[in-house]
Amino acid sequence: MDSKKHWNFNQISNLIFGLPDTSFLLEGRWGVERETQRTTAGGEMAVTNHPEVFGDKLENPEITTDFAESQLEIVTKPYRSVAEVFGQLKKIHKTVDDGVPNDEFLWPLSMPPVLPNDEREIPIAKFNQSESGRKKYIYRKGLAHRYGKKRQMLSGIHYNFSFGDSLIDFFYHHYGGDMDRKSFQNEIYFATARNFMKYRWLLIYLFGASPVYDESYESALDKELDIISNQCHNLRDRLKTYQKNAISIRVSRFGYSNEVEHQQHISYNQLSEYLSDIRKLLNTTHNKYERLGIYQNGEQIQLNSNILQNEGEFYSPLRFKPRKKCESQLKGLEEEGVCYLEIRILDNNPFEKVGISLNQLHFMQIFMLFCLFEDSRFMTEEELRLANENHHITALTGRKPNVKLYQYDGSEVLLTDWAEEVFAKLNKIAIAVDQTSGNNNYHRVIKEEWEKVTNPNLILSAKMLTEMEKHKESYLEFGMRLAKTYKERES
């Protein structure tokens, strides 16, 4: 996109914020996917089969499994308001609560419950004997061999959203130039994605909720420490101390990530580059995975030996999605263009039965509008590297006083100072959104989240640790207290 068609926050402010009706800013569709583990009363991973009452995993659009047989995935369809999404999420949770055995509980945390010492005792999700079911099972076996089963047992929230046609048309009218509507829509989502990548550290800071873990996860963390130590011997002891200030181990190198993120460059500049980069990973053999082999003892253990077995193995903070469900998401993107975004870095909120609050959903609406409005020129590889660096600094050291991040000119800035700049813009958007509805709901939400910047004891990760200290609880005891409380509320 050339500079003549480019926009920035001040331009958009002048165009939109004085309009008598700003309701089109909140038009769109939203959906949520929530992952959670079934556990025993003692906080151990359940080894029972997926409850039959939920039906076939491939045919139930609302309740299925993720990596493991014990790992439920709860999925809403898209709705035109986040309030509807939240209501549906609660409704599906009620169905899940009713269907899970009386002696099992839903684990409220993103880091896993107690896992077996021997990973072979973690059952991979089973599927029916269809070709699709067979591929899903083999893909999961591949993940287990590549990264270890414990790394796959983390759970979180996926936030899906699309902008309304009116908002895209508004931007197209002012900035479309000679682009066709479909190409411009792609640019809208890629521009938003670039800013999301740059500013996602703020979401990790506010909503990260996995600062600690059960000792049964220690072996997975040690494996990653060994990899890092082999690359830089001085880092092991330093990284061990990061746990004192961690916000989200789940989205750090010690959680749900893979070598692609650290070694491969994926373009977020335009669809053609993004598709080309992902396809390269899908078609390039990885030496380590080639040594594993496709078969062991006559059984297929991975789909192939490429860097990515399939598109789902690209563990990015964000994914571009087509509208239609098809076997190849990349083909769908090529044919339809980008129709919505999937945000993948939100931890389960342990203080909410359904893993996310309505306030969080409202905040995400304003945050993603900010990502659209903000200046979003093409990212260089260095800018993407710094964005990833900020992600990991926040995830592992975000509770450290006076923690600093990298701005995209390479200079350092206090996280709190940078957050203040972002919140000033979030507040402007919230006020503009509220003016049509006649209430101050969004402004209130932004104000409440801003208080977490001025008082770090209010962020979710700090609240978790405060609660554990107050009740003199271990990670396991904290998780089970909440799990039992949420189950009792339903009974």
**For 416-447, what is each residue's pLDDT tens digit?**
999 999 999 999 999 999 998 888 999 999 99
pLDDT recorded at residue 3 = 40
pLDDT recorded at residue 91 = 98
Domain that holds residue 158: 3-490
Residue 104 backbone class (left: φ over 0; alpha: ψ -120 to 50; beta: rest): beta
Pull the structure tokens for residue 429.
Answer: 């958007």
pTM for this model (two decimals): 0.96
Number of compact structural domains in the chain: 1
Q: With contact defined as beta carbons under 8 Å apart, do 482 and 107 qualify?
A: no
pLDDT recorded at residue 261 = 56
The domain that holds 44 is classified in CATH as: 3.30.590.20
Write down the residue that tokens 């239609």 correspond to: 324
Residues of the chain with pLDDT under 50: 1-4
CA distance 419 to 416: 5
Amino acid letter for position 239 = L
Q: With contact defined as beta carbons under 8 Å apart, do 415 and 398 qualify?
A: yes
From 211, 220, 246, select the one nearest 110 (Cα to Cα).
211
> 3-class SS at 113?
coil
pLDDT recorded at residue 244 = 83
